[in-house]
Every structure is written in C-alpha cells, then in structure tokens.
Structure 1
Amino acid sequence: MKYNKNIEVTYMKKILSLSLIPLLASCAAPNNVEKLSSQIDIKYKKTEGYTHQFANTYKRPESYPHTCEQDCYPKTKDIQCETDMEQCRFVGQNPLVDLPGSNDFSVRWIGHASFVITTPTNETILIDPVTEQFDWPIDWAFANLGGGFYRDTPAHITDDELAATQAVVYSHIHYDHFNKADIETIGTNTKYLTPLNFANYFPDGGYDIVEMPWYSDYSVGDTKVHFVPAHHFSNRIVVPFITNDDDETLWGGWLLENGGKKVFFAGDTGYSNHFKDIHKAYGDIDVCLIPIASYHHEEYGNWYRNVHLTPEDALTAAKDMNCGVIIPWGYGNASWKMGDHTSHSALFRLLHMQKQLNSQIPLYILNEGEKVIL
C-alpha cells in the first residue's frame, strides 16, 4: 500500500483528540453539592431486602375513586384539531380566577413538564427544563432506530428568562424531566435544587446543587421552595439489566411559597394519599400544576396508572389539596405521547370528567408556550 502522509496526520490527530478527552474531563471544575436533612424519615425498600433504594409512602392503590369506563373522549368546540385529537389548540374561554392575595405568580408552560415560574418578588425558577429531545444516546436511538418517543420541537426558554433564572428544580431523573444539554445551556450562575442522590447524574463543571429530602425547604430570594412527595419511581439506565439504578435517587414534587401564595408542581405521580398529606402539611394550595397524560398503556396496564395520573385522578388530587385553580400539563403538540392515545386525548378526557364529576375547581388551560399570571 502506498504511503499517504495525509492519512497518517489525520490518524494521529484523532488519537491525540481522544487522548485529551480524559484530561479535559479531569480539568472540569467539581460541582458544589449540599445535602439537606429532614425531620421526617424517608421510606426505603427495607421490606424487600434493600437498604439503598427509595420507596413510595403508600402501596399501589387497590382501587381509585373515579375511573372513566366509556365515552371518555367526546368532541368539544373548545379544542380545535387538525386530525382526530392530534395537532390541537385549546380555543375555549378560560375562567377569570380571583385568588386571594394581591401579589401574583407568572406561570409559563414550555411543554410536557417544563415551566418558567416568576414569583411575586421576581425570582425566576425553572421546573424540569427539557427543551429538546431526550439526552444522547436515547434521542439518537429513537430518531434512527424507530419505535420510540420523539417529539416535535417544543417552545423554548427565552434568553431573558435564562438570564433571570435564580433556581432550577428537578422532580426526578427520568429522561423527559432531566436533560444534561439544558443544564449546559443554563450554566452555573444559578442554584439547582434536586431530590436526594441526584448530583451524581450531573456533568462536572462547577454546578451548585442542593439535594433535598421530602418536606425539606430552601430559600430562593424571598421564595421558600419545599420538596414534597410524589407516587412514582426513578431510574436512568441506558441498557436494562446491565446497569441498574432503580430507585436510587428520590422523586417528588415542588411547592413554591411567596407572600402567602403557593404554587404546587406535582411531578410525575400516580394517585395516593400523599396529596392529602401535602395538604395537611401546607394547607390549601392556590395554583396546582398537575399532570393528566401518560396514563394509558395497554402493555403495562394497572402498573402504568399506579405511577401516572388519569385526568380524573388529577381532579381528585386537586380536591384533596383544595386547589384554587388547576393548570394541567403532559399533553401537547410537542409531547412524547408516552402511553397516550394522541397528543390531546388527555385534555379531551379532562374537560369531560370535570363535568362528569361536577368539579368546582376551575381549569386554566394553556397551549405550549403560553403564560398566565395568577
């Protein structure tokens, strides 16, 4: 074979670049991690022989207060769609909600579980920011191998919102709620509030992380941020059965309290008595951001509902907490439709079940990217 100097130079450059990767990684600034404590014991799976895995407060419910059995998705003039419950927009009239207190929260829904919250004292807090697809390599596999969840381009967090961000909160480590690409975009000039044992999943780079157990709190400016229970699970494995991190990080929801007004974000959760526990601990909730999608899955059946709310479960949970208003999330044109019939079937079912159950808690429906001040 004829000697080719260009090939040799290219090959040596590749070797050099690969050899620098560990060196560059080792030069990254270490993260600053603070771990808070709580006076309430966190439940572990000790009854199953584990001492390192977290557990839900309550077992899987044997039954649910309400379940829609038939005709759950009637058409409504309040939702306009391009096809049957796909690519839709809510066009109905949202209620005029007059919540107690003169100071208001601004709530902007980015899509799926991602929100930008601005408090009455101008603290900007991001909730579960995932503004593209899943992290690599999961996104690559879904895009190129098929058979998985890949969503349309969602709304984005603006540069002004990013510049104003004082804290980022994460509910759990599943790919649709925690994205390392977004962390790199947000940067190090903010606090990251997370469940326990979460910091190991962050990239190095000097991030300021506060790990929190249930019923602990942390102050962001004049806003008190409480971490509260959810009924879910956690893992972030890439290849099942080869690496296993099931339930080694905690999961939960967030309660933001400022000037006597409270905004609750449920995180991914199924229905259980933990909603009543939250109400007992914190009283009535003004604004409740509650998931309504990802509950229908033929393969996993009752297990899937155990860790996700149906629309009627969401209404029951809101009643348990005496919510002033419900802002639903999880559906949408840029959703992953994980276990859902269509992009907006959950919203059709929610509007239907609100009437069926005669729910007196107002719904405020956002399309992705929209904002409301409450």
Structure 2
Amino acid sequence: MALNLKQLTTLSILLVIIGCTLTGCASSNYVTQIEGENALIKYTDEPGYEDRFSNIYESFKAYPVTCTNDCYPASGDIECESNMQDCRFVGNNPAVNLHTGFTVKWLGHASFLLKTAGGEQILIDPVFGQFDWPVNWAFRLAEGISRNEPAKVDEDKLAQTDAVVYSHIHYDHFNKADIAELGTKPEYLVPLGFAAHFPNRGYTVNEMAWYTSKNVGKTSVHFVPAHHFSNRIWVPYLYEDNDATLWGGWVFESEGRTLFFAGDTGYSPHFKDINARFGDIDVCLLPIASYFSETSPKWYRKVHTTPEDAIVAAQDLGCKAVVPWGFGNTTWMMGDKTSHSALFRLMKMKKQLSPAMPWVILNEGEQVSF
C-alpha cells in the first residue's frame, strides 16, 4: 500500500533518528592549525612526495652506546611468571621530591593520565583496547599482534579530561573507538595532518607543527620533534599515506616546571635540541621498548629507543627524573623478546652507565607524584 506524504515524512524522521543513534549524526569538527614564529616543519625531498614529512636528522646512525653481551641478566627487582614474561616490578623506587605538581598514572604501553599543578587533566596517547577494527580482527585471524586488555579507566575520571594529546597516528597510539568514548568535551592536540582521521562529530582538534604551543587551562602544551614515521595503511610498497601526518613528542609546562613525553622515537640529536629550547626537563616519560633485537627488523632502532638509547636521551634532555614505558603486561611486544625484556635490559644498562637522574619504574595502573 502506498504511503501518504505525512507517513513518508514520519518514516524519514524515524530513519534519521535510528541512524543517528547507531552511527552518530555528522557534525563538522572545529579544526585549527596552530602557527608560530618558532614553528618547524621538515619535508622529504623524494620526487613526487614533497608534501610528506621527514625527520630532522634523517641519516643519523651514530648510536653512542649499544649493549652487546649479557643484555638480559636476572634481576631481583622483577618477579615473573616465566622467563621475562608476565612480570611485576617489586624493587624500591628512589624518593623523588621535585615539587613540580605533576602526577603521572601509567595506563599501559604509551598511555598516561597526567594531572598538572594547575589542576588540568590530560590524557596522553590513550588506547584502551586493541588496534582499530578491522586491523585487530585481521591480526587475531593471523595470530599476529595483540595485547592483554588493560584495566578500564573509571568513566567519572575520564569525564574530567580537559585535553587529549596524540603523538602520531600508529594504531598502538591512536584508536578511533577511544575518541568516540571520550567525546567532544576535551580539546584534542595532534600533529599536522591528523584531523582528517577524526570522524565529523563536533570534535575540537588543534593541529600543530613542531615547536608550536597551545594553552590548556594554566598549562602550556608544546609539540616537539621525534625521530619516527607515520602511516595507517599496512600494505607493502603502498605509499598512499606514508608520512602524510607529522609525529612528535610533547612538553607540558605548568607553573615553571616541565614534563616531557617523547612519543615513539629513535635516538637522534633532536633530544639536545629540545633541551636547548626548554632547558633541563623536570620529568621525562621515555620509551625503552620495540627496539631492534634479534627478533625484530633492523630498522626498528632507527625509530625506537633501546634502553641504553633512552638513558643517553635522558642525559641529553637534562631529565631530573625519568619514567620508562613501552614494556609491560598490556603492551603489544612489537620487536621485543618478551613483555619485560626491555625492563631487564634497562636494569642492566643503568648499572653500567650510572645515570645521575633517578628512574621511577611503574607497573601498569600505578601512579607517582613529582
């Protein structure tokens, strides 16, 4: 039986309501590109891809220190269910009283919840589950990369988030399901080219070049270089989105004190550059995992720091305290021997290199105030 105009109108409205309920109604995002006189962007010189981003020190290879012998000795500070797998740090951390006002909670892998002296709550690279669908589904079928599910963050706590920052678009650092959960209340601070990966649902997205800044409440957030790369399409020899978005780390400045999150990065002189801009950093959150080992591709070290690289980086940055990340029971173990092999190697290299600054080792879900 044919429907009249009123019935068709009613049906159309119902379909729109159902569609919005299931998928969310489209609403344009508020995208701003942050500019500044100190902004730095470096592009590749590869013919045909001059709009793609590049590392500042693309050809850097001179790593100061490399562990070559007995890199994973036993440690009484780490208890494991099997060899360097499913572990917990049980040692004593040094007392650190820097009076910065920063409180850091490690959520796992590269994800942190940061509370500043001004009271701002900032999420850093939050990924609360697996990779985005359908990549997680494909990896499960292939028995590939997956992680143990991290503990959920309380919804009331998430609702207090003022800003979310992302270092780059790789799946283990950015998950679209998470921004859907976090919603449009917080501001999003991201690298250049990143906003295109947000669905149109009314998000406030600030795209930033290296050495540009944005205030979140009383906290100044600065985007700084890293030595890495970016892509979302994992198909060999397909260059469609390689390095089309920028990557980097973040410096948070609150009441004259600084906290640095490196993002994924290899070692290069960019750490000294950051120190030259901001002076000695009070608290450094540095990656120590997914580096080149006998189980990973040789190029991994170019874009991921080894534990000894992280120690040298901490010295270059003038870190007054360091929290390492990237290992753990809820990480993906990309390039690592086991869940905690990187931590065992760090313990070895700390004894060998004797860095002056304290290293605070957290288990996932733990927090520390500096």
Task: Compute the TM-score of the two structures, normalised by the length of structure 1.
Answer: 0.91
Query: What residue in structure 1 maps to residue 31 of structure 2?
Result: 33
**Aligned equivalents of 2:100 and 2:290: distance in 1?**
34
Offset, 1:137: 0.5
What is the identity, as a one-letter code, of the residue corresponding to 1:280?
A: A
Query: What residue in structure 2 maps to residue 269 of structure 1?
Result: 265
TM alignment of 1:313-352, pairs within 5 A: 313-352=309-348
Which of 282, 291, 294 is the aligned partner of 1:286? 282
Offset, 1:60: 3.2
**How big is each residue's C-alpha offset from its partner over 1:79-111, in whole Å with a ceiling of 9 and x where there is no partner?**
000000000000000000121xx4411100000
Q: Structure 2 vs 1, CA of residues 228 and 41 (structure 1 numbering), >3 Å: closer, same or farther?
A: closer
What is the identity, as a one-letter code, of the residue corresponding to 2:256?
A: G
**Aligned equivalents of 1:206 and 1:238: distance in 2?**
28
Correspondence 1:96 to 2:95: yes
Across the two proteins, how many residue pairs are aligned to each other?
355
Offset, 1:243: 6.6
Larger CA deviation: 84-93 vs 25-34: 25-34
**8 Å CA contact 1:265, 1:288 repeated in 2:** yes
**Aligned equivalents of 2:187 and 2:273: distance in 1?**
27
**Aligned equivalents of 2:309 and 2:225: distance in 1?**
16
Query: What residue in structure 1 maps to residue 118 of structure 2?
Result: 121
Offset, 1:71: 0.2
Larger CA deviation: 327-336 vs 237-246: 237-246
**8 Å CA contact 2:24, 2:201 repeated in 1:** no
Offset, 1:361: 1.4
Q: Structure 2 vs 1, CA of residues 355 and 197 (structure 1 numbering), >3 Å: closer, same or farther?
A: same
**How big is each residue's C-alpha offset from its partner over 1:218-262, in whole Å with a ceiling of 9 and x where there is no partner?**
000000000000000000015444572000000000010001111
Query: What residue in structure 2 maps to residue 137 of structure 1?
Result: 134
**Aligned equivalents of 1:63 and 1:261: distance in 2?**
31
TM alignment of 1:2-151, pairs within 5 A: 27-39=25-37, 40-46=39-45, 48-99=47-98, 102-146=99-143, 148-151=144-147
Query: What residue in structure 1 maps to residue 152 of structure 2?
Result: 156
In the alignment, structure 1 segments of 5+ residues that lack a partner are: 1-15
**Aligned equivalents of 2:154 and 2:105: distance in 1?**
11
Q: Structure 2 vs 1, CA of residues 23 and 322 (structure 1 numbering), >3 Å: closer, same or farther?
A: closer
Correspondence 1:213 to 2:212: no
Q: Structure 2 vs 1, CA of residues 150 and 91 (structure 1 numbering), >3 Å: closer, same or farther?
A: same
Query: What residue in structure 2 maps to residue 195 of structure 1?
Result: 191
Provide the identity percentage: 56
**Aligned equivalents of 2:234 and 2:351: distance in 1?**
42
**Aligned equivalents of 1:241 and 1:321: distance in 2?**
36
In the alignment, structure 2 segments of 5+ residues that lack a partner are: 1-13
What is the identity, as a one-letter code, of the residue corresponding to 2:70?
A: D
Q: Structure 2 vs 1, CA of residues 23 and 111 (structure 1 numbering), >3 Å: closer, same or farther?
A: closer
Query: What residue in structure 1 maps to residue 7 of structure 2?
Result: none
Correspondence 1:226 to 2:225: no
Task: Compute the TM-score of the two structures, normalised by the length of structure 2.
Answer: 0.92
**How big is each residue's C-alpha offset from its partner over 1:291-336, in whole Å with a ceiling of 9 and x where there is no partner?**
0000035476431100000000000000001101110000001110
What is the identity, as a one-letter code, of the residue corresponding to 1:173?
A: I
